Chains A and B, each alone.
Chain A
Amino acid sequence: MPVVEAGQPAPEFSLATYEGDRFTRENLLGRITVLVFYPHAFSPICTDQLSVYQEVLDDFTERGATLYGVSCDSVWAQQAFREKLGTTIEQLSDFEPKGEACRAFGVLHPAGFPERALVMTGPDGVVLWSHQAENPGVLPGANLIFDALDAVSV
């Protein structure tokens, strides 16, 4: 199943936060959210992707968009990853049932980890824009997110 497309409502899903709460479809409502699906914590490429987004995080905030990193790693691994990168981007874990939320968004790789994909949702929980990299080794630049924000704010 391909990544959810613009115009579709975001699926029902449940992800774990480091604080021990669940992050569900409800949490998307009332603002612009960008879910950054990445294959694995600590793989070198993800490191750069989130580090680069961190550098322009203030710009995203200014545009009213909140970013979350999503992977199938445990919340502990995600937190350690976050500390190592020195990023403030909040992480959401799809560890148990593993890959369930990724599957719902159409981004679960057959090998059991998220594809490198971006899903932007609007205040009504409907997908505004999505993008899946041609393979997990290709990094989606932050420009894609800015372009999508430009397109939806017209």
Chain B
Amino acid sequence: MRGPEGARPVTVYGDYECPSCAALEARLHELELRVTFRHFPVRSSHPRAQAAAHAAEAAALQGAFWPFHDALFADQGRLEDPHLWARAEALGLDLPRFDADRRSDAVAERVRADFRGGIRAGVATTPTLFAGGLRHVGRPGPELWAALRPA
């Protein structure tokens, strides 16, 4: 979770290989929101989505979830293993630990738990954003920004 305390909470189910998720992410930065990100990698559409989600959770174990998350969305064309290592290195993470963690059962279970939670919440595609009673599915547009803007 990140964003100013007391700001409007939103939960985003996303996938690091999904272009609409990156579009949403880019704009969420500009709004005063408290954002929770949950993984919803759809492997058959996005073959590297799951590996990327595991890498982000491995970075989280070294306190670098959000920087890693931002680095993934900033360059979706580069999600192969060497690109993930390069990001970890650039963020000053312990590389062998990062690599062991991203392949660990604990990290896989964490991502899986997010996915299952998404299924239970009715998520059927990415991105899906929840903010109170509001639910937005798919590519974000002006109506979403209007709805999320502070009153």
Interface residues, chain A, with chain B CB atoms under 8 Å away: 45, 47-52, 54-56, 85-87, 139-144, 146
Contact = CB atoms under 8 A, between A and B. Distances in A.
B122 A143 contact: yes
Contacts of B116: 56
Contact of B125 (A139, A143, A146): A139
12 contacts: A48-B126, A50-B44, A51-B45, A52-B125, A55-B42, A85-B44, A85-B45, A86-B43, A87-B44, A139-B124, A144-B122, A146-B119
A51 B43 contact: yes
Contact of B42 (A45, A48, A140): A48
B45 A47 contact: yes
Contact of B44 (A56, A86, A139, A140): A86
A140 B122 CA distance: 8
Interface in B103-151: 115-116, 119-126, 137
Determine the main DSSP class of B at the interface with A. loop
A141 B45 contact: no
Nearest to A54: B44
Contacts of A142: 119, 124
Interface in B42-76: 42-45
Contact of A141 (B44, B124, B126): B124
Contacts of B43: 51, 55, 86
A51 B42 contact: yes
Contact of B119 (A47, A54, A143): A143
Contact of B124 (A52, A85, A87, A146): A52
Q: Which of A48, A140, A144 has the most CB of B within 10 A?
A: A48
Given A55-B43, A56-B116, A143-B119, 9 more contacts: A47-B45, A48-B124, A51-B45, A52-B125, A55-B42, A55-B115, A86-B44, A139-B124, A143-B120
Contacts of A141: 119, 121-124
Contacts of B120: 143, 146
